[in-house]
Chain A
Amino acid sequence: MFENAKTAFLFGGIFMFVVAYLWEGYLPLSHLNEMKVETMEELTADVLPEFEELAEVYPKEFKEYYGEPTSEAMAEALILGKKVYTQEACWHCHSQFIRPVSNEATRYGPVSLAKEYSNEMNYPHLFGTRRVGPDLIRENGKHSNDWHVAHFYNPQMVVPVSVMPAYVWLYDETVDPPVPNKKGMAIITYVQWLGSWLNKDGNKLNNTGKAPLADEIETETDKKLAELQNGDSK
């Protein structure tokens, strides 16, 4: 029975795949799906200060590309920024999650929680599997817009040993000095947005170097997921 093409196809192939999906796919998803998926409107309810700053520093260009720095404009910039991040494969060299080990919380900031990724910007997620450059999920507040403008244009200008390529096509080079174009402003908005939710007032994520403890988290769902993430259900 086990030495037959049909058994291999139907039982080994299809049935075992379904079993694996139920265990390693459906089961974790059933827990994670208890979280609400935040919409773009909710994500952009507060306009990012860095986005507003782009409008102040490049008034003419910003007006042309995005109009006023409203929530809708920011949503547009975030979506375009993620597209740039995807098409340039930024995610192949920069991860987007902080682990509770290897002193990552000291280096980058609080350990990542599932709820941080439960929003419309994470279809698909951009966790990444390699760090040629540093993790970016806590990028907000680490560098100024000006730093990013210089860095995307020529990374070695600000980080001499960097092996990141220059992204000159994200700039309008007809002016001197070059000014980020629509895509350039979008990618800056996107990386500045990463982790910005932690720098808002009333944020309760700790930075103990471990995944947050359940009693520091507000909702029941988040508590349960933090317990599952820590692998202990006390």
Chain B
Amino acid sequence: MASETASSPGTTRRERWLSRFDGSLFALCLGSLLVVVAGGLVQVSFGAFSMTLVEAWQAVFNPEVVFDSRAWNAFLFGGELPEMNERSLIVWNIRLPRVFVGILVGMNLAVSGAIFQAVTRNELASPFILGVSSGAGLMILVTLVVFSGLTAFLPLVAAVGGAVAFLVVYVIAWKNGTSPVRLVLAGVIVGTVFGSVQTALFFFADDIGVVQSAIAWTTGSLTGADWEQVRMALPWTVVAMSLALLGSRQLNVLLLGERTAKSLGMSVEKVRFALSGVAVLAAAASIAVAGIVGFVGLIVPHMVRNVVGSDYKNLVVGCIFAGPALMVAADVGARLALNPVQIPVGVVTGLVGGPYFLYLMRKQDRMGEI
């Protein structure tokens, strides 16, 4: 059965592996990394306590902090913070965590969006297409307005709300199995109803502070992001990213269509639900720390697909790098553009994302299908 053409499998496999290691993917990752580093340095340098880029650089790479296990213990496990100089304290304790949270949120949203685009086989899908954002938004409003005692648990409540809404969407879409179209339609239905209730709840907010807080959560903001947010999101991010990378081959097969996937022996419903679950986990992790940041999960997979093609092995890796780049860059704008006023980062991603999407729409003849 073995063919003669498979001569010297050792070398051919190596060549194949090398050919798969895409030059464009490498360039994309490197470029994204540079954007993240540059954006991060700008973030740590500017603000109420200003320092020069060199000073900021020195504070970031202060060996007393970087190689201090107690400091990392404090950052990652919430231990007691050791003493450090003022600049390092500001950089490491106030400004850098915000950059890290931005990185985590960016990769979560980008990968989540990429997965949903494969699951629904629609390029216009986003992490919030299957009701996740409306569920989270509704729970945020309910918590802030009705159960204000639970405000401390807001991140958790929001993430759970998103996950529950996703399950509701799935139940609605289920009829002898699901289909991409029915899932999207069910998402729209749930989104409409939840959105109405959410808007209605604004009328019951008694003071402007609650409304502002609600708006910050529902548009997405990194203001006040701290190590606590890093600690909250990091484990879930690691889990979700690993699962997404492992599932990339399944995503590729799903792209061949339901019938083909099924005839190749895939349990399409199970795989689709599991992958959606991974995507919801990633989206929920980002909602818990930053609220509902729009557009990142929609645009980043698009940009990456334009560069590396639709192979999810490359696409997921590209999203893990490009998502943070967009998020960190947008947060520079959100924090510093109208200094000292900070605007929600979701506003900036929307302002950047809308025109980019328009450009894509004009440039490409066919949009919608992957």
User: Are the chains A and B members of one assembly?
Assistant: no
